[in-house]
Chain A
């Protein structure tokens, strides 16, 4: 399957990159960067002026960290992407910590009050939708959120997601089901769950 081929190709690339093959390193980073950017954007959302500036910065930090860590990388049978996402996850956590003072950044708590500034029409706007969902996601347990992000945003299969997070594919499917159910509850309180 194409995804497996991609993973195979990535692993071959990683092997050469670890050896210091500059072209392989460049190819590798070119390949992982879009995934990292998506992941960071999904985790950090829009900040400040409504752009993904911070998320993209963190994504770049992740790429730097991957580059620095490459010489010490050893293939343990896990996909290289898992290694990358391990780094990304920590960088995002750091960014959250750093942004704790910045009120415009997502925090782990949902605001208690209803957002009075946006009526139904305004909240239908894409940006608001996205921000709202971002807030919802931040309430989910970490594993739920990560599964959703890896599957929907990064576009991984349940198997790959499981490898990333150290779960079985079955557990991934259960988790994603629960995550969706929780989000449904939050987005429309009282709605029939999973129906």
Chain B
């Protein structure tokens, strides 16, 4: 069955008689174009050139990877096959729990009207119909016929037309739920200031409060340091006290220990500044302990990032931005 073999043309739609050689020539041309080849004798032919460009663009543009064909969007169909697989194959998908769907073979046996494929499609794949077969359900009446099916009653129930659309809807809901599970997971690890933070606040209120307290405690410590730098130990103390108060509501797993360390270091710095006070505006407490006026004991980082925080807050140590949120 050669591609170029010319059969007797049927002039079923033609008025004029077309010369066979003309038909053959076009057939050869088309076969060449289908391979992306420009036959020599057509090198000046504008149409052939255009068609080749057109073909080349279509065929050379890479087909997008749609992460395989088995995506959530296909759950309804997948559910159907999942049930068939329970009979024929070890299950490869968990989604089968969704679908006590029909055995395709049984359906075919009982479908007398399966006809030429194309006309049948007209009704089946309508626009926006996620489960086009839903309306065609009642065709198979006897689920009992199938010898491989032990769960007659349940499968029959699932095959009834009324339950089919709910099945599709359920599958869609599962797809949505799977999607939102991902966002939930992301939200549970979100840090203050991130886009998912408002969700995180709802998802885990305790954690959110703890993280926010930690944020503002660090801010207060930051302010305290700044005040120490300006030798204003008094307001530095205020900030420190505020920070300590906030730190109370920070959970241990949210970097409490680091916060405490930070508190101690700032405290030491204030004490040192107070000790060697040189600033006349602040009332020095008189006692003299540390001679150095501007010591930098530890933690030179201005925005301490909680690196020892919880496992849930693993990612984005960079994100905690000092936004006053509490």
B121 to chain A: which residues have CB within 8 Å? Answer: 69, 83, 86-87, 90
Q: Which of A64, A129, A159, A177 gathers the greatest number of chain B CB atoms within 10 Å?
A: A177
**Given A20-B89, A64-B77, A69:B132 Cβ within 8 A:** yes
Q: Would B1 and A173 count as touching, CB distance under 8 A?
A: no
**Given A90-B121, A152-B34, A184-B47, A71:B102 Cβ within 8 A:** yes
Does chain B have a CB within 8 A of A100? Answer: no
A157 to chain B: which residues have CB within 8 Å? Answer: 1, 3, 31
**Given A87-B125, A152-B30, A72:B107 Cβ within 8 A:** yes
Smallest beta-carbon distance A17→chain B, Å: 9
Interface residue total, chain A, C-beta cutoff 8 A: 78
Does chain A have a CB within 8 A of B94? Answer: no
Residue of B18, B30, B57 touching A126 (CB-CB under 8 A): B57
A60, B23: Cα distance in complex, Å? 35
Does chain B have a CB within 8 A of A188? Answer: yes
Q: Would B1 and A129 count as touching, CB distance under 8 A?
A: no
Does chain B have a CB within 8 A of A138? Answer: no
A158, B2: Cα distance in complex, Å? 9
A37, B58: Cα distance in complex, Å? 9
Smallest beta-carbon distance A44→chain B, Å: 10
Interface of B is mostly: helix
Q: Would A72 and B69 count as touching, CB distance under 8 A?
A: no
Interface of A is mostly: helix
Bits for B6-45, please: 1 = Cβ < 8 Å to A, else 0. Answer: 1111111110001000111011011101110000000000
For residue B49, which residue of chain A has the nearest CB?
A129
Residue of A30, A42, A176 touching B26 (CB-CB under 8 A): A176
Residues of A within 8 A of B (CB): 1, 3-4, 18-22, 25-26, 29-30, 33-34, 37-38, 41-42, 52, 56, 60, 63-65, 67-74, 76, 78, 82-83, 85-87, 89-91, 94, 97-98, 126-127, 129-130, 132-134, 148, 151-153, 155-159, 166, 168-171, 173-178, 180, 183-184, 187-188, 194
30 pairs from A and B in contact (CB 8 Å cutoff) = A4-B1, A21-B88, A41-B61, A68-B74, A69-B121, A69-B124, A69-B132, A70-B104, A71-B104, A72-B104, A72-B111, A73-B108, A78-B116, A83-B121, A86-B121, A126-B53, A129-B50, A151-B34, A152-B33, A157-B31, A168-B10, A170-B8, A170-B10, A171-B10, A173-B6, A176-B27, A177-B22, A177-B27, A178-B14, A188-B47
6 other contacts beyond A76-B114, A87-B125, with CB at 8 A cut-off?
A: A20-B84, A26-B68, A98-B127, A151-B30, A171-B13, A174-B11
